[in-house]
Structure 1
Amino acid sequence: MESNHQSNYKLNKTEKKFLRKQIKASHTLLRHEGIETVSCATQSLVVANGGLGNGVSRNQLLPVLEKCGLVDVLLMPPNKPYSFVRYKTIEESKKAYVTLNGKEIVDDLGQKIILYLNFVEKVEWKEMELQSLPPGLTVVEEIISSEDEKMLLQSINWTEGTDNQNVKKSLKHRRVKHFGYEFHYGTNNVDKNNPLPGGLPEICDSILEKWLKEGYIKHKPDQLTINQYEPGHGIPAHIDTHSAFEDEIISLSLGAEIVMDFKHPDGVTVPIMLPRRSLLVMTGESRYLWTHGITPRKFDTVQASAGHKSGIILSDVGDLTLHKRGMRTSFTFRKVKQTACDCSYPLVCDSQRKETPPSFPESEKEASLLEQEYVHRVYEEIAGHFSSTRHTPWPHIVEFLKALPSGSIVADIGCGNGKYLGINKELHMVGCDRSQNLVDICRERQFQAFVCDALAVPVRSGSCDACISIAVIHHFATAERRVAALQELVRLLRPGGKALIYVWAMEQEYNKQKSKYLRGNRNSQGKKKEINSDASVQELLVEQIPDVDNQDSACSVPGISDFQEGGCHSSKVTHSKLPIHTNRTSFHSQDLLVPWHFKGNPAKDKPVEPLGPGGSLDPSPVFHRYYHVFCEGELEAACQTLSNVSILQSYYDQGNWCVILQKL
């Protein structure tokens, strides 16, 4: 009897533990995803832990579910750690609920996970709009035979010509070989006066001639880069330097298929499947304006239907699964351009950018392109050097974070290298930034961070207890975009949640005191103005320095009239070129370009720019970032246009205007 009693007690403890986890899974789905579970039995179930986002493929999950009955539909949203299943009858869904709840399965990486099922009243999923291929992009399937593929792969001698230490250092996650001209990753260019001996491999000649004859390509390439990608590795999003190559960029995929992401400056991302032995051809807009890259991961989300091979990965959650990556080798052919580029995209063109400084944007499209070139691209280039300067947290931002209740969910929108993400271990903090390279630094530091647009943060409305936006809003190029960024912060907050916002100030001399930016020292006190008292943040005094050479990162994105008050004595830069600011001086314009100077060894810091068509290097490269510096009262006025918001504090602190707001 004693033994049986103890056995029942252990069983009860196990059941209780399982029940707690099941309830926790249900609450997590409701809080973070808006999925409401029900206690009564229905035909539909949500399967927590059984999703594409945590390594479970359709081919793996469906057979498990079908053991309990006839599955009407299995919906697997991309990048989500759950799925939905609808059975033909309630009896079958009840059986799945009883049989599969707590069932341990092995995901595609060989790791054990436990499924938790809950009934749902109905299954709803917002489908993305049907997208089209970026203009000028084509994918040609089975462009070569399997015999030619084998011959090309066997022709690569990886033991020769790969002793370039700079190449090894820059490309530690993939092997690379260059033919015709060597591609220099420090400058993203080639030395046009120094071709490599031997030209392109002889084995490529007949293949290229065939493509020319059949009309797939228009130019005979004279430069080839061969990359070998191991599963799990990729290449950062980029645009091939305009002045380096002609319009046509072509890439042959060998050995394995891959999903390549194409992204427009407005933030629209189109994932494209490139099958094995397919040819990707980029011309026009897809070549000059859209970035392309491969996200480092071991599985790609792909169409499950056998008939879908190449092209856009559709958002049909009833037809998505995971595909394990293999070893892929790409042959990227280009024709070296001997003249300056005169494309139709001057804001993102290295040839035209140097000759024509950007003008103040007069439209939403111009603003988006300006931010793409003078904010997003720059932070991607300077990420490593930038991060090396961002190591000391500002004390009173730390105080704000430490004053938040334990367990609070906090989003850092424009988190840079993540220096605030680990400040308070009692908080659940997540960061996001527009720069992939900065987000990679966050992840290396074991912080939760992802790449996104600050006007389209993929976090459920009302799910955050607090948000911080430090030195971000001033990178938006129109008043409408700045207000939209503020509105997105408010959307993320729950009622009662607070946001701390910092922007650079036009007034670098305030109350007869020069800012630290002008003085170059760090020994003065911030001043603040109380609007509504709040016990948890009333003592907040932030010491932030608008260090123009080294300021926090932007997470930019995409309309109120420009602010006309506030006491600034500067005119709006309309119908004129944006001025370039002189560092450590007062601002004379609200809209300007601020230089970022590389210090130390440019080769070590990696990003360097060619001075002109010859590709010679500037020993002290300079990048220019767009800023809109705020006048007194401007940030506060922008916040007052938002609905359901109360401004708790508004204050000036050493060259910054700052606001703490609360969602009503």
Structure 2
Amino acid sequence: MSSANISKQRRQLHKVLQQLKKHDKDVVVSEEPTNILFVSNSSVLCGVTIEELEEVFSPYDPKCSYIVFPTKKSYSLVPTQLCDEYVIPNGFKTIENFISQHEEEELKGIVSSSRGAERLNNRCVLHYGYVFNYNTNSSDEKCSEFPSLCNTLVDRMITEKIISPEQRPDQITVNFYEPGQGIPAHVDTHSAFEDTILSLSLLSNVVMEFRDCANSALKLDVLLPRYSLMVLKDDARYRYRHGISCRMYDVDPVSHRMFKREQRISFTFRKRRNQPCKCKFMEFCDWDRNGKMAIPNDDKNGRLLEKEYVKNVYENIADHFDETRYSQWKAIDQFLTGLPDGSLLFDSGCGNGKYLIRKDSLLKIGCDICEQLTKIAYNKGCSVIRADALALAIKDSCMDAVLSIAVIHHFATKERRQQALQEIVRILKPGGMACITVWAMEQHLDGDSQYAKMRTNKEDEDLENCHDEKRILVHSGKEFKQQDVLVPWQKDPKGLKQFLRYYHVFVEKELDELIQEIPRTHIVSSVYEQGNWICIFKKV
């Protein structure tokens, strides 16, 4: 091959890889050779079947596997072994061949002859026992009794100990799907139905997608085989949205083989709830827990919220937090560089000590309420104490400068946020400078926000998390929908070890106004950087 042809192929390869990096966040392009072959222009979109891929590559390695995509992507992957472990949500289970072909035919006949099916945007539905109201997500109106075969199947569920007699369903929703139809991602309402949700699959296999309510980028695909019974409990029931994408083809998440969808019918069995929901997933629950998830309006409730969703969380994630917090922001670096040599600097809420270990001519000491983080900072050689930012163990007017990086937004009431700022002013010398940063509610002002980088490849669904002025909601997506939110911290790539941290995200000028309410403060600058408001002020 001529050098010109080699150069042309290299240019083409470089172009493909750059497009892949730019447009597909699911794929990591390695600079080193891997066991995964990228095959461009080889998907269903390009008219290429998995059988054709096998015909080309199997002669080279009969044991190699194939990762194909049913929609959107124009490439396939051919690894020498499957690189992804098949992960299912906790509480999800399928019982294969729960019904026979004869029972399937009988069920199909029952619903096909029934009248009163309701046509929705993407499918038709039929109800037994009680009508499900899609406007209120409740089920109160009685309707046709269960068909006798459905009662027989429920008896079988109890006999096989899939559910207890007390969990006997009293409501059925039948969904009719034509090929290509699906159902939007949703959570069966906590307050409307009891714990266990059961669903029979008739006529066709289908892939159901589960997305974490606190992290819509975490998607787990599961196969629902024909004749099978799906059982949803615990996390799968309460913490994940489940849905079926509208498309003509699915890919088996275990074998990675593609199959075409056929007409499908599902029977979903649920028991209506008559008592307040007491599930352990109260952050995601729509039933009021005596105000426990309300936005605090006094000091006592503020302290309780911060203990559970700030202090305890950081004690659990300290090591992982340390691994991810090392880069320094431009505005903060400029603030520290501008301080005179030998200045005494205090870092209130120093975390893992990333600004204390900065090489400069400053004398630095820090504090944090998290014991594990103070130990990490101490082991790096930092001068650090364990202290609450609301009651700093420092004398009045003794510091030349103070940092408070990503701390104030963890306090749950305006009064507690003011108290943290007052402590900073108290320990500053007259003329001393302070640099404060908080997360911004406005995450779109620069295209390079810290939050967007932390939570890449998000689908901004937020189907459940509508604005609520009284309740703290779990945040998922790129844009904040309200100021008081619980933000997830993932300790593992699959998001199975998840912690929720409380944040009050600040709107423009809110931090400035909070500082200006404190005597003896003069704002020097206020800027937006990487999804944060950064304010520098002087004690006068």
Any idea what SS the aligned residue of 2:112 has? Answer: coil
Q: In 2, are the aligned partners of 1:179 and 1:224 still within 8 Å (CA)? A: yes
| Aligned position for 1:47 | 39
Structure 1 280/358 Cα, relative in aligned 2: closer, same or farther at 3 Å?
same
Any idea what SS the aligned residue of 1:63 has? Answer: helix
Render the CA deviation track for 1:576-615: whole Å, top value 9, x for unaligned.
Answer: xxxxxxxxxxxxxxxxxxxxxxxxxxxxxxxxxxxxxxxx
Do structure 1's residue 189 and structure 2's residue 151 form an aligned pair?
no
| Aligned position for 2:235 | 285
| Aligned position for 1:272 | 222
| Aligned position for 1:127 | 83
Render the CA deviation track for 1:124-161: whole Å, top value 9, x for unaligned.
Answer: 99934553x33332210000110110111111136611
Any idea what SS the aligned residue of 2:16 has? Answer: helix
TM-score when scaled to structure 1? 0.44
Which of residues 248, 254, 258 is equivalent to 1:322? 258
Render the CA deviation track for 1:284-332: whole Å, top value 9, x for unaligned.
Answer: 3322222221122221121xxxxxxxxxx34xxxx42211111110000
Deviation at 1:74, TM superposition (A): 4.3
Aligned length: 348
Deviation at 1:43, TM superposition (A): 11
Which of residues 98, 105, 115 is equivalent to 1:160? 115
Render the CA deviation track for 1:425-449: whole Å, top value 9, x for unaligned.
Answer: xxxxx995331769xxxxxxxxxxx
| Aligned position for 1:434 | 460
Q: In 1, are the aligned partners of 2:209 and 2:219 still within 8 Å (CA)? A: yes
Deviation at 1:508, TM superposition (A): 9.2
Any idea what SS the aligned residue of 2:163 has? Answer: coil
Output the CA distance in 2 between the equivalents of 1:144 and 1:632: 69
Deviation at 1:186, TM superposition (A): 0.6
| Aligned position for 1:211 | 157
Deviation at 1:63, TM superposition (A): 2.0
| Aligned position for 2:277 | 341
Which structure 2 residues correspond to residues 5-404 of structure 1 after superposition, within 5 A? 23-24=11-12, 26-33=14-21, 35=29, 46-51=38-43, 56-65=48-57, 69-72=59-62, 74-77=64-67, 79=69, 80-84=73-77, 127-128=83-84, 131=87, 133-157=88-112, 160-162=115-117, 167-168=118-119, 171-191=120-140, 194-196=141-143, 198-218=144-164, 219-267=167-215, 268-302=218-252, 313-314=253-254, 319-353=255-289, 355-358=291-294, 360=305, 362-363=308-309
Q: In 2, are the aligned partners of 1:180 and 1:199 still within 8 Å (CA)? A: yes
Output the CA distance in 2 between the equivalents of 1:479 and 1:434: 15
Structure 1: tracts of 5 or more residues without a match:
1-15, 86-122, 303-312, 369-396, 402-409, 416-429, 439-451, 455-468, 482-501, 511-565, 571-630, 641-649, 652-664
Any idea what SS the aligned residue of 1:435 has? Answer: coil
Deviation at 1:255, TM superposition (A): 0.7
| Aligned position for 2:360 | none
Deviation at 1:259, TM superposition (A): 1.1
Output the CA distance in 1 between the equivalents of 2:487 and 2:476: 16
Which structure 2 residues correspond to residues 462-473 of structure 1 after superposition, within 5 A? none
Q: In 1, are the aligned partners of 2:93 and 2:230 still within 8 Å (CA)? A: yes
| Aligned position for 2:396 | none
Output the CA distance in 2 between the equivalents of 1:477 and 1:433: 18
Output the CA distance in 1 between the equivalents of 2:189 and 2:81: 39
Range that drifts further, 179-188 or 321-330:
321-330
Deviation at 1:24, TM superposition (A): 4.2
Q: In 1, are the aligned partners of 2:68 and 2:76 still within 8 Å (CA)? A: no
Any idea what SS the aligned residue of 1:226 has? Answer: strand
Render the CA deviation track for 1:425-479: whole Å, top value 9, x for unaligned.
Answer: xxxxx995331769xxxxxxxxxxxxx966xxxxxxxxxxxxxx77679676469
Output the CA distance in 2 between the equivalents of 1:479 and 1:293: 22
Output the CA distance in 1 between the equivalents of 2:290 and 2:30: 54
Any idea what SS the aligned residue of 1:269 has? Answer: strand
Structure 1 341/472 Cα, relative in aligned 2: closer, same or farther at 3 Å?
closer
Structure 2: tracts of 5 or more residues without a match:
22-27, 296-304, 315-442, 465-474, 491-504, 519-523, 536-540
Render the CA deviation track for 1:68-103: whole Å, top value 9, x for unaligned.
Answer: x54455453454532355xxxxxxxxxxxxxxxxxx
Q: In 1, are the aligned partners of 2:64 and 2:81 still within 8 Å (CA)? A: no
Output the CA distance in 1 between the equivalents of 2:13 and 2:484: 39
Q: In 1, are the aligned partners of 2:68 and 2:77 still within 8 Å (CA)? A: no
Render the CA deviation track for 1:218-251: whole Å, top value 9, x for unaligned.
Answer: 2322111000112222112211111212222110
Q: Identity over aligned residues, as a percent?
A: 28
Q: In 2, are the aligned partners of 1:74 and 1:83 still within 8 Å (CA)? A: no
Deviation at 1:265, TM superposition (A): 3.6
Q: In 2, are the aligned partners of 1:178 and 1:225 still within 8 Å (CA)? A: yes
Deviation at 1:633, TM superposition (A): 4.3
